Structure 1
Amino acid sequence: MSEQLTHDTISISKTIKATVEQVFAAWEDPNARTIWGPPSDDEAIEFVENDFRVGGIDVHLCGQKDDLRFQVETRYYEINSPNLLIFTECVKSENAPLSTSLITVAIAGNGSLTELSVTIQIASLVGSDMIKGTRSGWQIAISNLAAHLETSTRETQ
């Protein structure tokens, strides 16, 4: 087995001031995901394919705005609107595989508050730095999602 092969489970929970339907819609809409998904203002996500359905595949490029070097293929296995998503993500750079993850997104709420729980089971083929970057990127993205939805909710009230 490669010395670079590393596994981990990342769990992220966040209470968001938005309805479960609003939170789910932000995952479903690729335009919204390009807003809240990048972990910094210097980074971007660009969708090449979007097929948000069970069995569907999304493909997006991501990285620094001037260097979208990472390709992410997302395959959906369970979509139970508005409460559950289960999908895999395979990350490549220059056609070399970097990681594969199984991701579960559980969305539960009551009224205008939603509890979002994201579990990422990752296998990195390039060592622990990929896992550290995945953990940090997802934590920031989920915080961005909350801020995006809470700003949108205030603007519509």
Structure 2
Amino acid sequence: MKTRSTDHATFVIERDLRAPVGRAFAAWADPQAKRQWFACHDNWVSLEYDLDFRVAGAEVNRVADADGVVHAYDARYLDIVPDARIIYAYDMKLGDKRISASLATVTFRPTPQGTTMTFTEQVVFLDGYTDDGSRRQGTEILIDNVQAFIEREHEIVH
């Protein structure tokens, strides 16, 4: 018999971006743009990526790590308010084993310098999966990637 368990965590990552809200929001909404920054390990192999950015739409990202283990991300968009917020739920699998389920919220607030983007994740790790902070670390990398992408794209336009 398998041991069943849940381990809850919440974390918040905030960034001040040197770009307007519309550009920041578009980096999350446009499939071509998001695919450019939505990876936390450059040496992993992309197997599948798809983004249907609308309420009730889905996002799928499957990659293989250096050992060939498939990491699968499956999301559903619950709420989208253009240039203000994105709320989605997602689960993660390693191979065939579901390791977590999350609710994520991204908010965008205009500032005199550009945008404050806040990412909040409420995650439950499942059935003995020990995260040891790697989810937050991987998400920090993703948020660094999106910030660099947004600011680079903004500089190209201006």
Q: TM-score, normalised by structure 1?
A: 0.87
1:127 counterpart (125, 129, 151): 129
Match of 2:39 in 1: 38
**Which residue identity lines up with residue 91 of structure 2 in the other structure?**
C
Unaligned runs of 5+ in 1: none
Match of 1:20 in 2: 21
Relative to structure 1, the CA distance from residue 2 to residue 120 in structure 2 (aligned partners, 3 Å threshold; closer, same or farther) is farther
Relative to structure 1, the CA distance from residue 20 to residue 89 in structure 2 (aligned partners, 3 Å threshold; closer, same or farther) is same
Q: Secondary structure at the match of 1:146?
A: helix
**Which residue identity lines up with residue 153 of structure 1 in the other structure?**
H
Instruction: Report which stretch shifted further, 100-109 or 56-65.
Output: 56-65
How many equivalent residue pairs? 156
**Aligned-pair distance for 1:66?**
8.0
**1:64-92 deviation line (CA, Å, top 9, x unaligned):** 37847111111011000011011001111
**Aligned-pair distance for 1:41?**
2.3
Match of 2:95 in 1: 94
Relative to structure 1, the CA distance from residue 11 to residue 44 in structure 2 (aligned partners, 3 Å threshold; closer, same or farther) is farther
**Aligned-pair distance for 1:46?**
5.3
**Which residue identity lines up with residue 57 of structure 1 in the other structure?**
A
Relative to structure 1, the CA distance from residue 150 to residue 49 in structure 2 (aligned partners, 3 Å threshold; closer, same or farther) is closer
Do 2:72 and 2:93's aligned partners in 1 also have CA atoms closer than 8 Å? yes
Matches within 5 A, 1:54-73: 54-64=55-65, 67=68, 69-73=70-74
Identity of aligned residues (%): 28
Match of 1:105 in 2: 106
Do 1:19 and 1:111's aligned partners in 2 also have CA atoms closer than 8 Å? no
State how far apart, in whole Å, the 2-side matches of 1:27 and 1:155 are. Answer: 18
State how far apart, in whole Å, the 2-side matches of 1:78 and 1:155 are. Answer: 30
RMSD over aligned CA atoms reads: 2.3
Unaligned runs of 5+ in 2: none
Q: Secondary structure at the match of 1:39?
A: coil
State how far apart, in whole Å, the 1-side matches of 2:6 and 2:16 are. Answer: 33
**Aligned-pair distance for 1:44?**
5.3
